[in-house]
C-alpha cells in the first residue's frame, strides 16, 4: 500500500514486535498528536497486479507467481473458495517459511538461496498472492528488500481467483 500511494520512505522492523521484545527494547504507549494537514498522494498502480493482468501473463518464461498460502491450500486439500488448488505455474513458499523462528521471526538469512532454488529469482517478474493479500504482504516486502526489480502484489489473491468463473486452476 505504501508503494501504491507513492510513499517511498518507509522502514521495516525485521521480526516485528516479537524481535523488539526479544531484545528487551523499550516500549512506549504515548500517543503522538495527529497531524491535520492534508496529504497529497500520487497513486501508482505499478506495484499491483490485477486478475486480468495475471491471466495475461500466465505461462510467461519471465514470470514467477509466489503463492504464500499454506501447502494444504496450494494443493487444494483445504478449500477457501469455490475452486481449490493454485494458479497454474505458481510456486508455493508459505510466508512463515521465510521467517527464522530462532531469530524472533526475522527474515531468514538464507532466504535468497531458498527462493532461487524454487525459481523465484530477481530476473523474473514476481507476482505474490495468498488468500486475501495479508500473508503475501510479507512476501511482497521480502522480494522488495532483496532488490527484486519487478515485484507486484495480486491484492485480489485467491479470494478473487478461486471464486472467478474464468480462471484456470491446477491441483
Beta bridge partners of 91: 66
**Residues designated as active site:** 130
Q: How far apart are CA 139 and CA 126, in angstroms?
A: 10
Say how far apart CA 61 and CA 36 lie, in whole Å: 48
SS3 state of residue 89:
coil
Q: Please say whether the beta carbons of 113 and 107 come within 8 A.
A: no
Beta partners for residue 37, in sequence order: none
d(C-alpha 100, C-alpha 111), whole Å: 10
**Residue 21: alpha-carbon gap to chain centroid:** 25
Torsion of CA 133, 136, 141, 145, to 10 degrees: -160
Instruction: Name residue 152's beta-bridge partners.
Output: 127
Amino acid at each position: 500500500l505504501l508503494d501504491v500511494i507513492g510513499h517511498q520512505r518507509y522502514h521495516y522492523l525485521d521480526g516485528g514486535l516479537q524481535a523488539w521484545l526479544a531484545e528487551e527494547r523499550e516500549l512506549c504507549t504515548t500517543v503522538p498528536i495527529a497531524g491535520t494537514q492534508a496529504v497529497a498522494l500520487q497513486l501508482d498502480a505499478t506495484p499491483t497486479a490485477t486478475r486480468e493482468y495475471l491471466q495475461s501473463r500466465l505461462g510467461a518464461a519471465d514470470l514467477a507467481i509466489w503463492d504464500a498460502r499454506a501447502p494444504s491450500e496450494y494443493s487444494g486439500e483445504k478449500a477457501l473458495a469455490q475452486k481449490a488448488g493454485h494458479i497454474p505455474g505458481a510456486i508455493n513458499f508459505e510466508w512463515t517459511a521465510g521467517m527464522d523462528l530462532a531469530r524472533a521471526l526475522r527474515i531468514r538469512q538464507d532466504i535468497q538461496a531458498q527462493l532461487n532454488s524454487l525459481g523465484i529469482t530477481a530476473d523474473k517478474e514476481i507476482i505474490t498472492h495468498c488468500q486475501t493479500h495479508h500473508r503475501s504482504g510479507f512476501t511482497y516486502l521480502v522480494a522488495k528488500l532483496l532488490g527484486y526489480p519487478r515485484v507486484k502484489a495480486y491484492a485480489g489473491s485467491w479470494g478473487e481467483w478461486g471464486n472467478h468463473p474464468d480462471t484456470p486452476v491446477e491441483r
